[in-house]
């Protein structure tokens, strides 16, 4: 009978709603006219009980000709741990602080995976019924994981269903600047009106009000005014509210009184799906093995993933090559070099390479000519050339006083091996990844 229910919802609901709420719902038993369902999280359980149980019962009633009870329980399974990544690039000029929403940041363009499932579900719940549950909604997580995207998707969705809704999207810096300007120009009344008359306030990167006392004070009042009028507030931050330095306790508790949910980096499958989606959106034809290759190379965040895709595409066009994994590999070598902000040191590389091949650093610096040592030594030299700014003589020096021509020779040899021998390419890539950690 559950199939009948899902079929009904599949036809009746928008795809995102169906995928979020119904698809993962599991029927566990049907006894004494009671249907037992398991939801994947408390949020799902809550939302289904509140907003879908009537419909489910209605469908069953029509199907079975009698009323059915519904019991939704929680599927007990370990929740994925939240391992935050720390990348120190800031969101610059995103939307330029204006409250226009980026038209690309919709639910349709958002790929749901393990790391953002809860955040997505919460976002959709709020978009479906703003002012109802989960106020404020607070997303936190590392850079480039889709916080801004989800937040704006809520805005788009609310506007789609209610074009007259007044939605304001700002970064917390814009809020701060507007406030400071209002004081300077003596226009605080207009400022209050602007911020306190909206139906929904989306404040991105709220962590930046942390050390700004009067802005916090102002935001506290804005928040309360909106909250008390059942206006929804959505916030994002790079960390949990209680971790924001110098954020007043009363704000921390306000931020936590709704729903706080984190976003963690996407797994490989999700990264591939995101790339495929992105390629589609941009009208690009990219073979699956190339997409998988890129997704395997970039595992930090979605913004970098998108950047990698763009640079692979540009590389292929400029060099008139097909979009093969091999072309992607070449393009990504450049890309990663540019992206890397804190490149490893040569001692770093020596350590990592030695560990990877189960050797001693002294082996790499030494003069033994056995193959098990020579190749790792050459790889270490190659990586030193690729990943640091050190000159050839300097690298030679770090390798126990070798001639710069030895380094150059090693570099050329490994470069060629990478093209021709997949084991070398694999080793070099694995070591690179270790170095990035
Ligand atoms: P954050 O605000 O967390 O730093 P953004 O929302 O700006 O990250 O996301 C960075 C980029 O990655 C955006 O272009 C966004 O569209 C994209 N992105 C992030 N997560 C996803 C996802 N799950 N599906 C599709 N695109 C995503
Ligand atoms: Mg952002």
Ligand 2 centroid distance, CA of 146 (Å): 7
Q: Which residues of 79-109 are buried (b: 16+ CB within 10 A; e: fewer)?
A: eeeeebeebeeebeeebebebebbeebbbeb
| Beta carbons within 10 angstroms of residue 408's beta carbon | 15
Rounded Cα distance between 323 and 334, Å, is: 16
- Span 174-202, average pLDDT: 94
Which two structure tokens, joined as six digits, stand for 91?
A: 């969101």
pLDDT tier at 338, thresholds 50, 70, 90: low
pLDDT at site 100 = 67
pLDDT at site 345 = 85
Q: Which ligand is nearest to the CA of 310?
A: 1
Ligand 2 centroid distance, CA of 364 (Å): 43
- Span 403-432, average pLDDT: 90
Quote the percentage of the chain above a pLDDT of 90: 52
Cα dist from 226 to 171, 232, 252, 257, 282, whole Å: 17, 7, 17, 14, 38
DSSP conformation class of 41: S
pLDDT above 90: residue 388: no
389 versus 78: which is more confidently predicted?
Answer: 389
pLDDT above 70: residue 104: yes
Please name which of 200, 205, 195 lies closest in space to residue 172, comparing C-alpha atoms: 205
Rounded Cα distance between 273 and 295, Å, is: 9
pLDDT tens-digit profile of 51-97?
A: 788 778 777 877 776 667 788 888 864 333 333 322 222 333 332 22
Rounded Cα distance between 299 and 271, Å, is: 8
Cα dist from 263 to 226, 267, 302, 304, 384, whole Å: 26, 12, 12, 16, 34
- Span 252-261, average pLDDT: 96
Q: Beta strands of 106-238 (E only): which ranges?
A: 137-141, 167-171, 200-204, 232-237
pLDDT at site 307 = 86
pLDDT tier at 394, thresholds 50, 70, 90: confident
pLDDT at site 124 = 97
Most confident option among 131-135, 259-263, 395-399: 259-263
Cα dist from 229 to 164, 193, 206, 402, whole Å: 17, 14, 21, 73
Contact 174, 91 (CB under 8 A): no
Rounded Cα distance between 379 and 399, Å, is: 12
| Beta carbons within 10 angstroms of residue 290's beta carbon | 22
- Span 253-264, average pLDDT: 96
- Edge-first strand order for the sheet with 232-237 is 167-171, 200-204, 232-237, 137-141, 259-263
pTM greater than 0.95 (yes/no) = no
Q: Which residues surround ligand 2, an ion (CB under 5 A)?
A: 91, 147-148
pLDDT at site 379 = 96
Contact 59, 65 (CB under 8 A): no
pLDDT tens-digit profile of 341-382?
A: 566 889 889 999 998 898 999 999 999 899 899 999 999 999
Ligand 2 centroid distance, CA of 168 (Å): 15
Pocket of ligand 1 (CB under 6 A): 91, 105, 109-111, 116, 143-149, 274, 277, 302-303, 306
> Of the residues 302, 305, 307, 308, which should be mutated to test ligand 1's pocket, given the most ligand atoms within 8 Å of the CB?
302
Ligand 2 centroid distance, CA of 75 (Å): 32
ipTM value greater than 0.95:
yes
Quote the percentage of the chain above a pLDDT of 70: 91
Q: Which ligand is nearest to the CA of 280?
A: 1
pLDDT above 50: residue 8: yes
Which two structure tokens, joined as six digits, stand for 340?
A: 């890397």
> Of the residues 146, 151, 303, which should be mutated to test ligand 1's pocket, given the most ligand atoms within 8 Å of the CB?
146
Which two structure tokens, joined as six digits, stand for 289?
A: 């093995």
Please name which of 174, 253, 244, 254 lies closest in space to residue 211, comparing C-alpha atoms: 244
pLDDT tens-digit profile of 276-334?
A: 999 988 888 899 999 999 999 998 889 889 889 988 888 888 888 899 999 999 989 87
pLDDT at site 95 = 29
pLDDT above 80: residue 203: yes
- Span 104-113, average pLDDT: 94
pLDDT tier at 98, thresholds 50, 70, 90: very low
Ligand 1 centroid distance, CA of 244 (Å): 22
29 versus 197: which is more confidently predicted?
Answer: 197
Contact 325, 290 (CB under 8 A): yes
Please name which of 143, 64, 156 lies closest in space to residue 109, comparing C-alpha atoms: 156
pLDDT above 90: residue 101: no
Exposed, middle or buried: residue 217 (CB in 10 Å: 0-12, 13-18, 19+)? middle
């Amino acid at each position: 009978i559950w199939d009948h229910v899902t079929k009904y919802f599949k036809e009746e609901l928008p795809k995102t709603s169906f995928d979020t709420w119904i698809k993962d719902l599991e029927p566990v038993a049907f006894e004494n006219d009671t249907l037992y369902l398991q939801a994947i999280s408390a949020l799902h359980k809550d939302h289904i009980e509140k907003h879908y149980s009537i419909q489910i019962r209605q469908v069953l009633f029509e199907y079975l000709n009698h009323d059915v009870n519904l019991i939704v329980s929680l599927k007990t399974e370990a929740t994925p741990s939240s391992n935050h990544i720390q990348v120190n690039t800031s969101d610059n000029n995103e939307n330029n602080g204006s409250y226009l929403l980026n038209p690309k940041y919709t639910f349709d363009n958002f790929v749901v995976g393990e790391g953002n499932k809860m955040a997505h579900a919460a976002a959709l719940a709020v978009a479906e019924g703003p002012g109802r549950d989960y106020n404020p909604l607070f997303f936190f997580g590392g850079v480039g994981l889709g916080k801004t995207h989800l937040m704006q998707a809520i805005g788009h969705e609310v506007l789609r269903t209610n074009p007259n809704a007044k939605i304001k999207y700002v970064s917390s810096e814009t809020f701060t600047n507007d406030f400071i300007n209002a004081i300077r120009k003596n226009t605080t009344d207009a400022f209050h009106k602007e911020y306190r008359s909206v139906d929904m306030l989306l404040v991105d990167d709220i962590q930046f009000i942390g050390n700004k006392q009067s802005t916090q004070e102002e935001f506290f009042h804005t928040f309360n005014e909106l909250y008390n009028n059942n206006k929804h507030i959505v916030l994002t931050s790079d960390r949990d509210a209680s971790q924001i330095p110098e954020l007043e306790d009363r704000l921390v508790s306000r931020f936590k009184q709704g729903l706080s949910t984190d976003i963690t980096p996407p797994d490989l499958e999700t990264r591939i799906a995101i790339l495929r989606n992105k390629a589609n959106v941009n009208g690009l034809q990219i073979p699956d093995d190339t997409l998988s290759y890129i997704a395997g190379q970039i595992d930090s965040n979605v913004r970098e993933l998108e950047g990698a895709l763009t640079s692979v595409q540009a590389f292929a066009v400029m060099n008139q090559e097909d979009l093969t994994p091999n072309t992607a590999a070449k393009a990504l070598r450049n890309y990663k070099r540019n992206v890397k902000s804190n490149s490893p040191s040569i001692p770093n590389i020596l350590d990592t390479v030695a560990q990877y091949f189960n050797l001693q650093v002294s082996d790499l610096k030494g003069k033994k000519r056995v193959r098990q040592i020579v190749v790792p030594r050459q790889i270490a030299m190659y990586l030193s050339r690729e990943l640091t700014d050190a000159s050839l003589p300097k690298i030679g020096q770090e390798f126990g006083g070798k001639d710069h021509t030895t380094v150059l020779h090693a570099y050329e040899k490994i470069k060629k091996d990478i093209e021709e021998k997949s084991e070398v390419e694999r080793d070099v890539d694995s070591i690179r990844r270790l170095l990035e950690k």
